[in-house]
Amino acid sequence: MNRTLTLLAAAVSSAIVLSGATTTLAQSTAPPPPEPIFIGSVAGTVGIHHTLPARCGAPLDLPLQITGGRIDLSHFISDGFDWFDLMRLDVSVEPFEVGRNCDGISGSVAFSIVGFRLANTVRFRGEEIGALGSGKFAFTIPKEQFTIYQSVVDNLNVRQPQAEYQRPNENVTGQIDLAAQTVFFDVGVATQQRFRAGCVRGHCVIDETDFGNQTAHITGNPDACHAPSPSTRPVSPTQLTASCTVVDPRAQTFQVGADEGCNTALAIHLGPYVVADGEVIRIQPASRPGVRLLNSTSGGLRQFQVGPGAGIVVATDGTNTARAVCQ
């Protein structure tokens, strides 16, 4: 892969930022127990536009679809205001490929996994819209108030996954409908990337910085397991599964996951440590028994030292248990 397309891939991966927005506002003491909202159907679009060097052709325009995810919210009233906690935001985007020819230097990059999740639980205040008591709220969140963790896997000869923390460059807006249990987030992000190609002894035929922007529209609706009315939810046996899938065997990275069916109280552990659904971790084999979390991190990933037979993730919903071997 030539340098031009390597940087092009970096530009694309850094350009995509999806945000379930939140802001940390002044909180009252001892708020009442929150009302949980579990949204298991996440969709929407991500549009990427990025200028390229003139020798590389037209600007990059990518209309991408959000393929799934999950959003967990809670709502409570304190000091006469409506507050929301965003506890979880997981978003997946469809795989895609980009390619360019820059004066005879050509190549392509394929992105097989593009995922995003909220870095921490955050709180924001809603402003009711419509009729009083409608349960419909709008919000505007300062761009500085939240962080999203993104992870991509592509076919470049670099350590995978490529992960980083990012923030949008403008305030995030959205709406929440408590009665319908729907959520909408609207995010805009600006990016820039230096492109270099044809470099010999420090001199490059192409060496310039180009700019781009992208818009992300995230819509969350309740699925069958998290319908607004309990009477409409299906009654079926719990089917709980766990997974620990290799991402990059050279880097010893794995993606942890669990399918919880209609259960909401789900926990995933590697040894004594809690891991998130969809989280990518690095596992270092060791001769010493047990699992230890190393102090150092690389590329934003947590690293674990795992003894013989201990590389197993365990998912539980309080009643059922599922296991998966990381191998």
How many structural domains does the chain have? 2
Eight-state DSSP code of residue 161: S
Residue 228 lies in a domain: no
What tens digit of pLDDT does each residue of 38-54 get? 887 889 998 888 888 88
Residue 44 lies in a domain: yes
Eight-state DSSP code of residue 224: G
What tens digit of pLDDT does each residue of 214-253 get? 788 999 988 666 566 544 444 444 467 888 888 888 888 8
Verify that 32 and 144 share a domain, yes or no. yes
Verify that 213 and 239 share a domain, yes or no. no
Which of 223, 243, 259 delimits the end of a domain? 223
Verify that 217 and 274 share a domain, yes or no. no
Residue 104 lies in a domain: yes
pLDDT confidence bin for 26, thresholds 50/70/90: very low
Verify that 168 and 298 share a domain, yes or no. no
Q: How many residues does the chain have?
A: 327
Three-state DSSP class for residue 88: strand
Range of the domain at 154: 3-223
Verify that 178 and 255 share a domain, yes or no. no
What's this model's pTM, rounded to 2 decimal places? 0.65
pLDDT confidence bin for 28, thresholds 50/70/90: very low
- Residue 48 near residue 62 (C-beta atoms within 8 A): yes
Of 161, 127, 135, 167, nearest to 19 by C-alpha is 167
What tens digit of pLDDT does each residue of 158-211 get? 776 777 788 888 888 899 999 888 999 887 877 777 777 777 877 877 788 888
Which of 192, 223, 254 delimits the end of a domain? 223
Three-state DSSP class for residue 87: strand
Verify that 43 and 162 share a domain, yes or no. yes
Look up residue 7 and give its amino acid: L
Verify that 95 and 209 share a domain, yes or no. yes
Verify that 205 and 107 share a domain, yes or no. yes
Strands 301-306 and 280-285: parallel
Which of 223, 241, 267 delimits the end of a domain? 223
Residue 281 lies in a domain: yes
**95 CB neighbour count, 10 Å cutoff:** 14
Kindly tell me if the per-residue pLDDT of 10 is higher than 50: no
Q: What integer pLDDT is reported at residue 265 of this predicted model? A: 55
Verify that 242 and 290 share a domain, yes or no. yes
Percent of the chain at pLDDT exceeding 70: 79
Residue 55 lies in a domain: yes
